[in-house]
Structure 1
Amino acid sequence: MGEMVSGRKQDEGAFEKRIHIMNDEGDVISKCMTKNNSTTSQSDSKDDKNGVNRTPDEWLPITRSRKGNSWTATFHLLCSGIGIQTLSLPLAFVYLGWFWGIMCLCGAFLWQLYTIGLLVSLHESVPGTRYSRYLQLSIVAFGEKLGKLFALFPVMYLSTGTCVIFIITGGGTLKLFYQLICDDGSSNLTTTEWFLVFISLAILVSLFCPDLHSVALVSFIGGIMAIGYCTTLWVLFVAKGRADDTSYDPSKVVASEAGRVRSILNALGIIAVAFRGHNVVLEIQGTMPSTPNRSSAKLMWKGVTASYVIIAMCFFPLAIVGYWAFGNKIPANGGILTALSTTLHHHSSKPVLGVIYVQVVISCVAAFQIYSMVVYDNLERVYASRRGRECSKLSRIGIRILFGGLTFFISVAFPFLQTLALIIGGIALHLTFGYPCLMWIAIKRPAVKSVRWWFNLGLGFLGVVLSLLVLVGAVWNLACRGLDANFFHPH
């Protein structure tokens, strides 16, 4: 028996290898084997590495990696859902009192949890299609023009505005921490320089996080820090007990009827703005894998359930215990964090206050990564659509530094934006309480005048009305109290 091998070129990029084998009967058996050209294989591998053979969605930071799970979703939701606005919840009780304060907080919690459920269900509302961005879902629901009109500006404005607030809060808290550990209470750095320290730290972290899934560890740390300062505060209040001459009568806070109405609108705004992160829910779900047997909605809903149980354990004790401890003595400007370092300093020790400051700063740095990723995704999408290829590492670094510089400039130019939190939040509040209900009706198309149709329609329009009322109340309050517009002069 003998074996003979011959070869010839079959087509470009492939090689045909033919083997002739003679059996015991003298018959020749010919077999053909095709082998890919190694040059083509290496070229395909190189193209895939450069993103040529990948879909445009895989080029962008939101959807570049779909290796997330319910744990990473929980970390992202905790980090993005608990913020410095939480510390103002006791102030809402000052204007609403015990009963209406608790009722409004419970109502807002259930309302926003329902709209999160709608967003999770709409993520894969069309089989084979995933809407991993709020803007995409808005366009599908309302059409190209109306979808962009309703969502593009609010989403980008909210993400950028939130990042600016992080710089002002984080930089200001760094300054307070430095003054706390220095006996003379002075700081060699100006507030502007502390803003620069914070944004430099935030951008440095972002350079190691090319996509949203890679932020999971940072989100875990940020979530732990956010839970930490909320829990530390209400436990501290319980340990110290109530302040002397504590009053819980809302009528004693504001004398006039007009002032009473204004304070109620502001209280509703404080509660509503405390619940944040809806503009990144779809993006977080976009980091998860999805198969016909196991959709991403199941994993995401596990993350939502776990995270919002923890968020409730932070929000409700802090609001209730904070109001119980101080009553009407809670200052209208700055919330509990500012009060602890000024008028209520006797309720906290120096080490505890230092730990709280550090937790706030780390939480702000971590949350900055999540909200800024929405902006990075849009900027990289523009780059990819114009260049027809994935954003290079150098361009990605440039985008992050550019965004960091822009937000730093805004924070220095308008350092009083933190006092305008209700106006900033009110403009985009419908993204949380209104639009999800209306988008569900537009996409799912339930039977007209059915129970779910009426319920979501009413809730959607009520969310838009709430946004307008909060905005009116915030502007009204600003007109009455005035504004310290310290342009380019952060305190």
Structure 2
Amino acid sequence: MGTVTRSSSEVYSSDSEKGFAMNHSTSTSPELDAGAKFVLVSRGSWLHCGYHLTTSIVAPVLLTLPFSFTLLGWVGGVLWLTLAAVITFYSYNLLSVVLEYHAQLGRRQLRFRDMARDILGPGWAKYFVGPLQFAICFGTVIGGPLVGGKSLKFIYQLYNPEGSMKLYQFIIICGVITLILAQLPSFHSLRHVNMISLILSVLYATCVTIGSIYIGHSKNAPPRHYSVRGSDADQLFGVFNGISIIATTYASGIIPEIQATLAPPVKGKMLKGLCVCYSVIATTYFSVAISGYWAFGNESGASILANFIGETKPLLPKWFFLMTNIFILLQVMALTAVYLQPTNEMFETTFGDPKMGQFSMRNVVPRVVLRSLSVAAATVLAAMLPFFPDIMALFGAFGCIPLDFILPMVFYNMTFKPSKNTIMFWVNNVIAAASSILVVIGGIASIRQIVIDAKTYNLFADM
């Protein structure tokens, strides 16, 4: 794939203007910018990379997969769940190969916008890729305290059903936890947190799978049907909504930043990390989607946990709900910390001084203030907009699909220029073209859903 052999003893550092890492054996190293030096420090192993990847992709959003099957049916659901896994694994590997290639040429790209600047031009980085990635990452940071707050509220109501605490209060509690995690100095410093996150995601997916199977076989099993409901128009838009939901569950949007945490030489390490991540995906996504849809059919809710409550009484013991929601609460906090990293890096690059120490007062004060303000803003927005998942579906269509399904194909073809006679050239172009169509249709379907649900929207609603 056009790789270049190099010595494993090469040392890299980052270009303060372009964000590239320069090979010391072929060029004089400029000084590191503060974002690369302090946040994207390259010390991790392939296993650490696997932890970061898993946390960035496997999240409580996987609990929506049975609902996506209600829009797609058995065949469409399983087919697209499998196809999206294959395409994203392929796509992320292409990104990794492009990053490795540029690193071997002496220009290690540490950020998504660096790839866009080097391959597409500075305008694409400044006005398209950079803002798009920021919207996805900060949107996820908003969603983190919201999902965590809902889990915390559920635990509270489980043991105190007449309690007076509101959703926004639980969101604030989760925001405080996020604020503490936001002070961890670098992406690499999250490696142990993300290892625990990986374990937690497997645990709550296992709980949901066991719960679905238990309910499906119990005497309280609800009647289930697998037909796709609604008018022809509803079914058509539902198909694209279902496709967008599944595509979003596989989304990352920070692959270059994760690869930047790898200690050089980077060759082959990202592929190993992806194998770790997709092993977890195969274990969790398919088990939750299939067991949940099997147990509840087209009555599967937006979160499958809602189906476990039943119409009159919980279908499972209280301790089960407590355990599952604690796992979700803890894992979503780690997820939020991961998606804070691009924002943290931008703050460090803009306001940090690479000539001063990482923990000097000159750098610590703006770091703590700016990170705290960003988390506070996200927490307030989460409390104001408890219907934010509808908006995230729109972000998924316009943000996740371009970053994870389209740009990797474009970057690879522009970097390696495969012949038009090769299968890879046409596979990449077909995926990019089909994904572009999906952006438009998925975006329209998401906007339509927001309009339909608008009548239930209230700021600071206690949902």
TM > 0.5 = yes
Which residue in 1 is equivalent to 2:9? Answer: none
Which residue in 1 is equivalent to 2:13? Answer: none
Which residue in 1 is equivalent to 2:286? Answer: 316
Distance 1:147 1:448, change over 3 A: farther
CA shift, 1:395, in A, is 1.5
Alpha-carbon distance between aligned partners in 2 of 1:86 and 1:440, rounded to the nearest angstrom: 29
Alpha-carbon distance between aligned partners in 2 of 1:199 and 1:481, rounded to the nearest angstrom: 26
Which residue in 2 is equivalent to 1:55? Answer: 32
Alpha-carbon distance between aligned partners in 2 of 1:401 and 1:482, rounded to the nearest angstrom: 31
Which residue in 2 is equivalent to 1:349? Answer: 317
Residue 300 (structure 1) aligned with residue 270 (structure 2):
yes
Q: CA-to-partner distance for each residue in 1:413-434, whole Å, 9 max, x for gaps?
A: 3222123331121120211111
Residue 218 (structure 1) aligned with residue 186 (structure 2):
no
Distance 1:168 1:137, change over 3 A: same
381-390 or 457-466: which moved more? 381-390
Which residue in 1 is equivalent to 2:122? Answer: 144
Contact 1:75 1:307 in 2 (8 A): yes
Alpha-carbon distance between aligned partners in 2 of 1:388 and 1:69, rounded to the nearest angstrom: 27
Alpha-carbon distance between aligned partners in 2 of 1:342 and 1:151, rounded to the nearest angstrom: 44
Alpha-carbon distance between aligned partners in 1 of 2:77 and 2:312, rounded to the nearest angstrom: 22
Which residue in 1 is equivalent to 2:23? Answer: none
Which residue in 2 is equivalent to 1:396? Answer: 367
Contact 2:178 2:336 in 1 (8 A): yes
CA shift, 1:338, in A, is 2.9
Contact 2:356 2:363 in 1 (8 A): no
Alpha-carbon distance between aligned partners in 2 of 1:287 and 1:260, rounded to the nearest angstrom: 43
Contact 2:353 2:363 in 1 (8 A): no
Distance 1:365 1:82, change over 3 A: same
Distance 1:118 1:483, change over 3 A: farther
Which residue in 1 is equivalent to 2:418? Answer: 446
Residue 362 (structure 1) aligned with residue 330 (structure 2):
yes
Residue 285 (structure 1) aligned with residue 253 (structure 2):
no
Letter in 1 for 2:458: N
Which residue in 2 is equivalent to 1:233? Answer: 208
Alpha-carbon distance between aligned partners in 2 of 1:98 and 1:114, rounded to the nearest angstrom: 24
Distance 1:180 1:290, change over 3 A: same
- Of all paired residues, the percent bearing the same amino acid is 21
Residue 113 (structure 1) aligned with residue 113 (structure 2):
no
Contact 2:110 2:260 in 1 (8 A): yes
Letter in 2 for 1:234: T
Residue 469 (structure 1) aligned with residue 437 (structure 2):
no
163-172 or 345-354: which moved more? 345-354
Which residue in 1 is equivalent to 2:72? Answer: 96
CA shift, 1:59, in A, is 5.1
Counterpart secondary structure, 1:130: strand
Match of 2:382 among 376, 400, 411: 411
Alpha-carbon distance between aligned partners in 2 of 1:124 and 1:345, rounded to the nearest angstrom: 55
CA shift, 1:483, in A, is 4.2
Which residue in 1 is equivalent to 2:306? Answer: 338
Contact 2:223 2:296 in 1 (8 A): no
Distance 1:273 1:59, change over 3 A: closer
Counterpart secondary structure, 2:225: coil
Contact 1:168 1:195 in 2 (8 A): yes
Counterpart secondary structure, 1:486: coil
Match of 1:167 among 129, 133, 145: 145
Distance 1:471 1:61, change over 3 A: farther
Counterpart secondary structure, 1:149: helix
265-274 or 111-120: which moved more? 265-274
Alpha-carbon distance between aligned partners in 1 of 2:46 and 2:52, rounded to the nearest angstrom: 10
Which residue in 2 is equivalent to 1:14? Answer: none
Letter in 1 for 2:64: S
388-397 or 137-146: which moved more? 388-397
The structure whose RCO (Cα within 8 Å, separation 6+) is larger is 2
Which residue in 2 is equivalent to 1:11? Answer: none
Letter in 2 for 1:284: I
Which residue in 1 is equivalent to 2:22? Answer: none
Match of 1:261 among 236, 250, 262: 236
Alpha-carbon distance between aligned partners in 1 of 2:178 and 2:168, rounded to the nearest angstrom: 15
Alpha-carbon distance between aligned partners in 2 of 1:314 and 1:363, rounded to the nearest angstrom: 14
Counterpart secondary structure, 1:123: helix
Counterpart secondary structure, 1:297: coil
Letter in 2 for 1:445: K
Contact 2:32 2:354 in 1 (8 A): no
Contact 1:87 1:337 in 2 (8 A): yes
CA shift, 1:345, in A, is 5.3
Letter in 2 for 1:395: P
CA shift, 1:330, in A, is 1.2
Distance 1:202 1:483, change over 3 A: same
Which residue in 1 is equivalent to 2:345? Answer: 377
Distance 1:258 1:76, change over 3 A: same
Which residue in 1 is equivalent to 2:224? Answer: 246
Contact 1:62 1:283 in 2 (8 A): no
Match of 1:155 among 111, 133, 144: 133
CA RMSD, 1 decimal: 2.2
Residue 478 (structure 1) aligned with residue 450 (structure 2):
yes
Distance 1:330 1:399, change over 3 A: same
Q: How many residues in Structure 1 have an aligned counterpart in Structure 2?
A: 425
CA shift, 1:340, in A, is 2.7
Counterpart secondary structure, 1:415: coil
Long gaps (5+) in structure 1:
1-52
Larger radius of gyration: 1
